[in-house]
Each structure stands twice: as structure tokens, then as C-alpha cells.
């Protein structure tokens, strides 16, 4: 099992950048694929980005591709989401997620979740 805790959210203006962090517990962190999801008010939770166990493979939703970068530091049991050129449409609660199986940057099947961190982008 793994416990996740997100941080780094806040209120920014359009065009600004933020870096979210997700600290994970456990001694088998590299065996988990990690991902970021987000949920805007009144909307379903949607996939944002994923990274495989080694960090060598990533996937992004079309809406954030080219603007967001997911990375991980396995020595620190931490995954990051660097968000650049933020838009008001990026406003949401961002959740860190994990699933067993580190071969692929999976876009679904995650069953461990953090508490979420709020990102608000004003125009």
C-alpha cells in the first residue's frame, strides 16, 4: 500500500506557472505507476498525466500536452507536475494517484489517491 500527499496548489494568473508535488510513503515506490488527475466544479474527474515506475515513460492528456510535465524522484518518493502557461480552464482540484505496476504510464486503473490540492487560475 501507499499513502499520498499533494502540495503546491494555489491562486495564480493566466500564463503563470506552478509546480505540484506528491509525496508517497512506502519502500516499493518504483513498482507503482503514478499519475495526476483533476476535477473541476460540476465536472467528472479527468486524466492529466502519468509516469511509469522508472520515469522513462510519460503520457499526457491533449489539453495539457506541451504545457505540463510530469516527473518523479524515486530517491525521494516524490512525483511532480510542472504546470506552465496556465489557463483558467486548468482550474480544478488536482489529485495524485498511484497503481501497482510500473511498466507503463497507465491512464487508468489507479486505486490509491491523495487528498487533492486546489489550483485556481484567474484571467
| pLDDT tens series, the chain, 123 aa | 799 999 999 999 999 999 999 999 978 999 999 999 999 999 999 999 999 999 999 999 999 999 999 999 999 999 999 999 999 999 999 999 999 998 999 999 999 999 999 999 999
| Sign of the dihedral through C-alpha 110, 107, 4, 10 | negative
- Give the distance, in angstroms, between the CA of residue 87 and the centroid of all CA atoms in the same chain: 17
C-alpha 123/C-alpha 13 separation (Å) is 6
- Helix/strand/coil (H, E, C) string of the chain? CCCEEEECCEEEECCCCEEEEEEECCCCHHHEEEEEEEECCCCCCEEEEEECCCCCCEEECCCCCCCEEEEEECCCCEEEEEECCCCHHHCEEEEEEEEECCCCCCCCCCCEECCCEEEEEEC
Pairing of strands 92-100, 32-39: antiparallel
C-alpha 120/C-alpha 90 separation (Å) is 7
Amino acid at each position: 500500500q501507499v499513502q499520498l500527499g499533494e502540495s503546491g496548489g494555489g491562486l495564480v494568473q493566466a500564463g503563470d506557472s506552478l509546480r505540484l508535488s506528491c509525496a508517497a510513503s512506502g519502500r516499493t515506490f518504483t513498482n507503482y505507476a503514478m499519475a495526476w488527475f483533476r476535477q473541476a466544479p460540476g465536472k467528472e474527474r479527468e486524466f492529466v498525466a502519468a509516469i511509469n515506475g522508472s520515469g522513462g515513460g510519460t503520457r499526457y492528456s491533449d489539453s495539457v500536452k506541451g504545457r505540463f510535465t510530469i516527473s518523479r524522484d524515486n530517491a525521494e518518493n516524490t512525483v511532480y507536475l510542472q504546470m506552465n502557461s496556465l489557463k483558467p480552464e486548468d482550474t480544478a482540484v488536482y489529485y495524485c494517484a498511484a497503481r501497482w505496476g510500473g511498466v507503463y504510464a497507465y491512464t487508468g486503473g489507479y486505486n490509491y489517491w491523495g487528498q487533492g490540492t486546489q489550483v485556481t487560475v484567474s484571467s
